[in-house]
Amino acid sequence: MTIAFTFPGQGSQAVGMGKALADAYPTAARVFAEVDDALGQKLSALMWDGPETDLTLTENAQPALMAVSLAALRVLEEKGVSVARDAAFVAGHSLGEYSALAAAGSLSIADTARLLKIRGRAMQAAVPVGEGAMAALLGLSFADAVAVAGEAAQGEICQAANDNADGQVVVSGTRAAIQRAVEIAKTRGAKRAMMLNVSAPFHCALMQPAADAMAEALAGVTIVRPVVPLISNVLAAAVSDPDEIRRRLVEQVTGTVRWRESVQAMAAHGVTRLYEIGSGKVLTGLVKRIVDGVEGVAVNTPDDVEKMVVALV
């Protein structure tokens, strides 16, 4: 059996996430403390006690989700699981790509937390509130969704932001263009087309100021070769060179998250099980819609951790 470790993106956050891990394992508690120290913020208290409105803020949700993923991973490592030995690849959805790199030893946990704080703030600040929007186009192929986005743009920004699975594409751009895309999609056979409740238009050209901020931030951080290849969001292909990883992380801010193709790429290399390490089980649910013969397993509770250890060690 060939496996890969995957890491969730924004939207998987929930008040209380990681608390059971911290209570059960001192190793996990130390990761949350390390993230708190790196940020100079009691992020763990916000994660466990809320309020949800503050946790959902992009600048908090991104490092918080990474913290849960790496807390679970450190416990797994303590119990004998090895990324280098057990995984063929790592991959993460949007911010999850940073978690994947930390898991594979490319970035320290402290640097990853600080980068995600900067990333969250920069993405939120890139576009004035209300000027951008995102929408889910359900039931259309990626090619059809791209065509809808192109027709809706009319000189404004409207592009495919997330290719999550067959028939699940998210578009992002200026509010008026996204509203047009929703209406056009309904005439092109979409099962549903709906505006999303998000705080900014992620993964489109409007995020260029955030990409510039990340280029500057990443330039000052040490990135080392991962112990296993990363499946890059923007390439849907494996990368290991630190300089290329840095470039692709910058491109990722404005580029499409090619998750469907990323999972297909791992399957083409023989991967038959994807362990989703961190909060929620969004990626695990998507696996079933992307490729046959690949199993998704969510790992976010102490019980999940122990089951994964039994399976791999």
Q: Which residues are catalytic?
A: 94, 203
CA geometry: angle at 40 spanning 34 and 45, to 5°? Answer: 70
Instruction: Give me the amino acid identity at 175.
Output: R
Matching residue, tokens 């995102």: 134
C-alpha span between 58 and 9 (Å, rounded)? 11
Is 39 in contact with 113 (CB distance < 8 Å)? yes
Structure tokens, 258:
């090619």
Instruction: Give me the amino acid identity at 29.
Output: A
For the chain, give percent helix, strand, coil, nearest 5: 55, 20, 30
Instruction: Give me the amino acid identity at 159.
Output: Q
Taking alpha carbons only, the member of 205, 258, 281 closest to residue 11 is 281
Residues 6+ apart with CB under 8 A from 124: 57, 58, 59, 199, 200
